[in-house]
A and B are shown apart, each in its own frame.
Chain A
């Protein structure tokens, strides 16, 4: 289990340099970390989105593992078919090695358009790890709101204007929804805490059934910050308890990291252009609502950890 940094440093890079992601892109950091930690061999799927566009412009590819992209809403359905093929071909002796399956989906391809396929695949108990690369908007098509976009965020389809202060709804809690599917393993992670993410990937892949990891992947372009700040923003999301690092394994919740001092969420918000308008006096109530919701969820999660222990 628990891979050390020394061990990971010896692993081959399976997502090679030369891809076309923006500098500081959290998505490709997450993919590299997941593939370093993965129990090999793996075969992967991704839906349409930034990751696909930056890594597979024909005739180039950044993938050193089998990678399949077919459409936007079907990563989980596609991997269901691959995993079914694997099971039958193994039974027939046409494949001998043990292969792990990983789907990488953006929040749009996971929370929204791909949600039905994901729900179906998890209910059918296919053996695969679904990694949601959550940058909280549809970045590939130019930063539109998704159901992962937080309250108040400015996006190109929930713009902060004269009468509307950005997105009016709180984000969908996808990890809880996956847990409600009775999934054997679901977790939340970030690219800041590589150790935690690596552990979670190892755990997820050792499970006989579906597993889900939601990784917060800051996007300099969509969030509006300097590309050197990706790790800082990942860390602040955790330290403010906006993005708790936790897991739920066979109905047992566990917090993987408890901040020494819970920072106000404004520490995370204030570094991002998409929340800039929230700091105007007229939007104070929205800022307060944001903090309240973070507190409420943090408290609830702590209760779950205690009562399901």
Chain B
């Protein structure tokens, strides 16, 4: 069915179709609508979910953790300060291998206070053990929520599905939605491998681990996120086969014969594709790459893709505050370290706090990248697009 929905509406609708047992949430711009819309579904009896209107995001994640450990399918939504307030609990959800799914409408972090889009919130949660999906469109946001539930429940890991705050969360798009039955069929029932409500087989969850065992648990968790790569690809493939919508983990656009490319996450990829089209029309060999999964980082795939190019501009909607380069560029450079044939990596920070990025901006980046290809010289380790 084809409908018109904002990104937030699309996420809330996907949540409803995933039929979570428990949703515990606290409002924060720009994700507030997701929890508002979802609570109206509950109020209208359209979904049989226990909605827990908690008093903070820390409690939202704690309640999701309690619910998931009790064998329930649990979901929430947040952004920015809310995600930051959950930070402690993110590690606990992942460490306990609880398949919680969280919708994020990406937003900057204070200070200064700003409600608009950038990726600082999710990027700051990088090492928490959550799978992170960044979406280019609301359609992808919708489809990713459904995929995320299946990925989470197969990999036993929690998943963030991020759409760009305001840019996607509040803009109306044409959306193709599945029927409730199709989603139910695709997901099946959640069958937890343990439950705190199984009082006949009591277990203790979340014990203290001393130096003789903590490390092994963490190593096992790290293996879990490595293995999640295979599970993710299976789920994406299943989704493609059933519903004919395909979102590869790394999406190459006009990259086959490209010499210089930009790589980005989220809605900017769409802008970059238009810039590519315009430059291609002028005969320039440029392309764009979309990174869909920030965690796990599909490093082998990234390397295989990036090796082909001469210069890669990494567009990062977050600052690493590492006095060096941007967060994504740091990771990608590291992934390429062992390669003898590798492109030059150039780091760009853009769009912090909702600063616009246009195809003209990206065309300027391409001009620079082409110049770098010709001179083989990178002048600045990191450049800031559109900053005054």
Contacts and interface: CB of A to CB of B under 8 A. Distances in A.
Contacts of B208: 52-53, 56-58, 69
A88 B68 CA distance: 12
B199 A77 contact: no
Interface class of chain A by DSSP: mixed
B343 to A, nearest CB: 43
Contact of B59 (A53, A64, A68, A117): A117
B52 A58 contact: no
Contacts of A69: 204-208
Chain B interface size, under 10 / 10 to 19 / 20 to 34 / 35 or more:
35 or more
A57 B210 contact: yes
Interface in A113-141: 116-117, 119-121, 123-124
Interface string B156-182: 000000000000000000000000000
Contacts of A77: 54, 58-60, 62-63, 66
Contact of B63 (A78, A92, A95): A78
B58 A66 contact: no
A219 B207 CA distance: 22
A21 interface: no
Contacts of A63: 202, 204
Given A56-B204, A57-B207, A58-B210, A85 B50 contact: yes
A67 B59 contact: no
Contacts of A74: 58-59, 62, 89
Contact of A85 (B21, B56, B96, B202): B21
B196 A70 contact: no
B24 A84 contact: yes
Contacts of B96: 70
Contact of A66 (B65, B72, B203): B203
Given A80-B66, A84-B63, A84-B67, A73 B207 contact: no
Contacts of A162: none
A56 B206 CA distance: 8
Nearest to B217: A58
A58 B70 contact: no
A117 B65 CA distance: 14
A64 B93 CA distance: 24
Nearest to B92: A70
B21 A117 contact: no
A125 to B, nearest CB: 11
Interface in A44-58: 45, 52-53, 56-58
B58 A85 contact: no
Contacts of A65: 199, 202
B339 interface: no
Interface string B52-95: 11111011101111111111101000000000000011001000
Contacts of A97: 199
A61 interface: yes
A224 interface: no
29 contacts: A43-B196, A63-B204, A65-B199, A66-B196, A66-B198, A67-B205, A68-B66, A68-B196, A69-B204, A69-B208, A70-B206, A71-B62, A74-B59, A74-B62, A77-B58, A78-B63, A80-B54, A81-B65, A84-B50, A85-B67, A85-B71, A85-B72, A85-B74, A86-B197, A88-B21, A116-B59, A117-B56, A120-B55, A123-B55
Interface of A: 40-43, 45, 52-53, 56-59, 61, 63-71, 73-74, 76-82, 84-89, 91-92, 94-95, 97, 99, 116-117, 119-121, 123-124
